[in-house]
Chain A
Amino acid sequence: MGDLNTQMLDKYRNNFLHEVEEKVDDGHWVKMCMQCGVCAGSCTFGPDWEHTPQKIFMMIRAGKREEVLSSHSMWLCTSCYNCMVRCPRELPITHIMHGLASYAHRLGLAPKNQPTRDFSLIFWDNCTKTGRVNELRMTISVYFREGIVSGIKKMWTLRNVGRGLFFAKRLNPLELFVSHGCKDKDGLRRALKKADEIEARRRGYAVQPRGYSS
């Protein structure tokens, strides 16, 4: 991962905008931002963002590579799409934020223990294992991601929620042992693996960055 970062630094030198245009999903839109700030004012968790989308776009153009890619900000996107439908230039801001977060993770620059990043990885791992999400296993993985003690604490704190869902028949311990899934999960996983190979080829990555745990 670190190697990929060095490679990209060498390749794009002082042109972070160019790097974003080529490497980040929908990154070619960034130059279209006219800095009106509607996205910043429309963002659900906006007050919690250190750098709003508007600022991030300007920082990209100013070459603030490290600050942008190591920021927590994009990881606070709730995918509400408010910025996207309100943007007068029709930038797909939500997708760009996801793209930046994804690229930061790929380069190994995303903040350590970033909660959304960790959740995202757990989610993808969970849903690609059998082809469908196992909510119970996913929840346990999220709560125990920082260790067994904090996991038990978290489960204890949320015990009433769990009990409520159990009695409402919307959470069942059985899910720990039997899981919904695709019959052809192997075919699905082969297709996803191929997709990652193609993506690496298209974006010019030497190594295949992400695999599937089995």
Chain B
Amino acid sequence: MAKREYAFYPGCSSQLRGSAANYLVSVESMCEKLDVKMTQIPDWNCCGASISYAGSSELARHVLSARNFALSDKHLPGQDIVATCAACWLGGRETIEKLDASSQLMADTNEALKEAGLEYKSGTAIRHMVEVLVEDLGYEELGKPVVKPLDGVKVAGYVGCQTNRPFGIAGESFENPMYLDKLIDTVGGESIAKYEEKVSCCGGSLAFCEQEKAEKQIKNIVESAYDHGADVICTPCPLCQANVEVYQSEINRKQGTKLNMPVVYYSQLLSVAYGGTLKEAGLDGHIIQPKKLQEIAVKVVGRR
């Protein structure tokens, strides 16, 4: 039996063929090494993200989250829900906060859920994967499975918005959260304490509809990483990852820049440091190749 068990809410982008498919792969290999068992919530649905407000009512969005909570409670009772996506986690936290504060909203949500034969009772906890790592396991335990320290890899820890605001990780500041840097250091990488764009916004989902405005943000995020001599940017958010990696070629095309900065997830750093292969760490899922990490992943080390 695994040391720790959680109900897993992967979210839409992490699914097979999705834009963050390699995130899920790396999380799975990381969790295996840490003896963390994650069971997907059966028949989970989209959280509605932060962008559905024109088409949906507030109540409908709570119903989306509450359906996932009810399913988790039904099939995986007593387990905390873990989300890997910042927007999923944030949406879930908001629903819990709002429903706990209003008995009417709770009753309305359940009236709607009844149509799907489900009931949500309060008391659900939804956690970001990072919270599980730093709070439940702790940095010391996270350091133990390291077989390939990320020696000489300079990593710009890009926390972004929604893993950081408005809830964030307990004990961290909104303006300069340290957990990502600590994770980088824990697996032997070199974090960049003065990375200015750590908590800037990449434009989020508005990269779809306001691409040029988002590209302005992304350019700053990447250029600041270059200024500090980073080899790679690391983030806890699938949308940050996609935006910051994908649009670099567009910025280059329009502005004649030569941006080519790889962007990876924290779970990929941990997976590689724990001895994960290219595939296990999801390092075969990039447009801009994270070469230094790939070199470490294929390196053979003697068993300890």
Q: Residues 23-44 of chain A: 1 if any B CB is under 8 Å from the residue's CB, otherwise 0? A: 0010000000000000000001
Chain B contacts with A in 239-291, Cβ cutoff 8 A: 242, 246-247, 249-250, 253, 284-287
What's the Cα separation between A142 and B211 when bound, in Å? 12
Question: Which residue of chain A is the closest to B55 with respect to CB atoms?
Answer: A124
Which of these binds chain B: A4-12, A53-61, A98-106? Answer: A98-106
> Whole-angstrom distance from the CB of B126 to the nearest CB of chain A?
17
**Contact in complex: A195, B165 (CB < 8 Å):** no
Pair B201/A124 contact, Cβ less than 8 Å: no
Contact A135 B208 (CB under 8 A): no
Do A164 and B50 have beta carbons less than 8 Å apart?
A: no
Max chain A C-beta neighbours (<10 A), residue from B118, B165, B203, B284: B165
Complex formed: what's the CA distance from A116 to B16 in Å?
27
A25-B58, A105-B54 known; A80-B161 Cβ under 8 A: yes
User: B162, A81: Cβ atoms under 8 Å?
Assistant: yes
Q: Give complex CA distance A193, B64 in Å.
A: 12
A120 in contact with B53 (CB, 8 Å):
yes
B116 and A180 contacting across the interface, CB-CB below 8 Å: no
Closest to A167 in B: B287
User: For chain B, which range describes its interface: under 10, 10 to 19, 20 to 34, or 35 or more residues?
Assistant: 35 or more
| The one of A25, A80, A118, A119 that contacts B201, using a Cβ cutoff of 8 Å | A80
Interface residues of A in 113-131 (CB under 8 A from B): 115-121, 123-125, 127-128, 131
Given A131-B46, A184-B43, A192 and B60 contact (CB-CB distance below 8 Å): yes
Assembled-state Cα–Cα distance A182/B15 (Å): 13
The reply on B19 being an interface residue by CB < 8 A is: yes
- Shortest CB-to-CB span from B237 to chain A, Å, is 11
| Contact of A160 with B249 in the complex, beta carbons under 8 Å | yes
Q: A70 at the A/B interface (Cβ < 8 Å)? A: no
Which A-B residue pairs are the 4 nearest by beta carbons?
A124-B55, A187-B116, A164-B287, A120-B54
Beyond A174-B17, A191-B113, 17 additional contacts (C-beta under 8 Å) are: A45-B206, A48-B213, A78-B205, A78-B206, A82-B201, A110-B54, A119-B208, A123-B52, A123-B205, A127-B48, A161-B249, A164-B246, A168-B287, A180-B15, A187-B118, A210-B55, A210-B57
Can you identify 22 A-B contacts, CB atoms within 8 angstroms?
A48-B213, A76-B206, A86-B174, A98-B50, A115-B210, A116-B209, A120-B55, A121-B54, A123-B49, A133-B13, A133-B46, A133-B49, A161-B249, A164-B287, A168-B285, A170-B18, A172-B17, A188-B116, A191-B67, A193-B115, A195-B62, A202-B59
